[in-house]
């Protein structure tokens, strides 16, 4: 199954909900007028795109309808697709992993699918011909290290781990050493997922980043925040909280196959000006794909 088919299947709940409401709106209104636009705006808000984002999209759509004299329902739908895609394309979705090695630092609260995502991303990069090392730097949860080891073995990647409770930065230090020794392309670092103690989390992440800057000053670095799409608007507040502690360069959206509120992706990108880099639409190891905005928009509308 290709990426688009997987995406379409994975986003079927969002598509069915979204499409049904959009089609009902067009059936209820015989012409393209202000009432129809207000109805479309409400549908966007209800799909978890967020109030400000929904208002922006409909205002852009209103301007286009007026300027281009759009009167056909299908042409309005196409313009709507394009306006949603514009928001997603405003941020650079390309992975910045051009140095050897490059580093991916993965952050996110417990329970969002962080460990699973690391395994799937490692597998995805390996399929692209890259040699990957994984650092199990969430040393405060024994289960996290065990789960990560299972995923690393599945993906066929080296894992660097230490006993529970040890300083996470020391795990990253050792992992950098092994990455250099093995001449690996990418080092993926897991981190602790507690958010209730932001000061501690910030200190921990800062320490890890200092080690990376000292040992690999020239390396390109992605800081990816993993979000559970089923949490809707709560995911947006997680982005804001993590942005305070570390510079996020991209998002990983998980569990999109389990929600009818996939529209939250658009709101998150618009409100935070951070691109989506990976998208998870299933349970299998190869169900993690590099995000393509055009395919995403087609899959939901």
Average pLDDT over residues 265-279: 90
The three-state secondary structure class of 277 is strand
Q: What is the pLDDT of residue 297?
A: 86
Task: Record the pTM.
Answer: 0.87
Residue 152's pLDDT band, with cuts at 50, 70 and 90, is: very high
- Given a cut of 60, whether residue 235 has pLDDT beyond it is yes
CA dist 46 and 39 (Å) reads 11
Average pLDDT over residues 199-224: 89
- Highest mean pLDDT pick, 60-64, 239-243, 292-296: 60-64
Residue 23's pLDDT band, with cuts at 50, 70 and 90, is: confident
Average pLDDT over residues 11-38: 80
What is the side-by-side strand order in the sheet with 102-107? Answer: 158-160, 132-135, 186-190, 102-107, 221-228, 250-254, 276-280, 288-290
Helices 142-155 and 114-127, packing angle to 10 deg? 20
Q: What residues contact 7, with CB distance under 8 A and at least 6 apart?
A: 279, 281, 289, 295, 296, 299
CA dist 285 and 118 (Å) reads 10
CA dist 285 and 119 (Å) reads 7
């Amino acid at each position: 199954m290709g990426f688009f088919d997987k995406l379409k299947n994975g986003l079927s709940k969002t598509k069915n909900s979204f499409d049904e409401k959009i089609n009902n709106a067009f059936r209820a209104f015989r012409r393209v007028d202000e009432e129809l636009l207000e109805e479309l705006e409400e549908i966007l808000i209800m799909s978890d795109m967020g109030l400000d984002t929904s208002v922006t999209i409909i205002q852009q759509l209103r301007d286009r309808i007026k300027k281009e004299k759009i009167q056909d329902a299908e042409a309005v739908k196409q313009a709507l697709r394009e306006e949603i895609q514009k928001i997603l394309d405003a941020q650079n979705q390309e992975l910045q992993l051009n140095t050897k090695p490059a580093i991916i630092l993965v952050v996110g609260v417990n329970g969002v699918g962080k460990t699973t995502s690391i395994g799937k991303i490692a597998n995805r990069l390996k399929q692209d011909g890259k040699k990957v090392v994984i650092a199990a730097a969430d040393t405060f949860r024994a289960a996290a290290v065990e789960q990560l080891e299972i995923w690393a073995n599945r993906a066929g990647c080296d894992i660097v781990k230490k006993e529970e409770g040890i300083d996470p930065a020391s795990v990253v230090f050792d992992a950098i050493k092994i990455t250099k020794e093995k001449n690996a392309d990418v080092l993926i670092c897991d981190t602790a997922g507690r958010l209730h103690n932001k000061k501690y989390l910030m200190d921990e992440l800062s320490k890890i980043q200092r080690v990376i800057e000292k040992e690999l000053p020239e390396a390109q670095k992605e800081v990816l925040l993993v979000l559970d799409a089923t949490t809707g608007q709560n995911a947006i507040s997680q982005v804001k909280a993590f942005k305070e502690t570390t510079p996020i360069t991209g998002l990983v959206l998980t569990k999109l196959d389990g929600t009818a509120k996939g529209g939250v992706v658009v709101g998150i990108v618009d409100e935070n000006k951070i691109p989506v880099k990976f998208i998870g639409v299933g349970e299998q190891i190869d169900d993690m794909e590099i995000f393509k905005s055009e395919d995403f928009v087609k899959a939901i509308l």
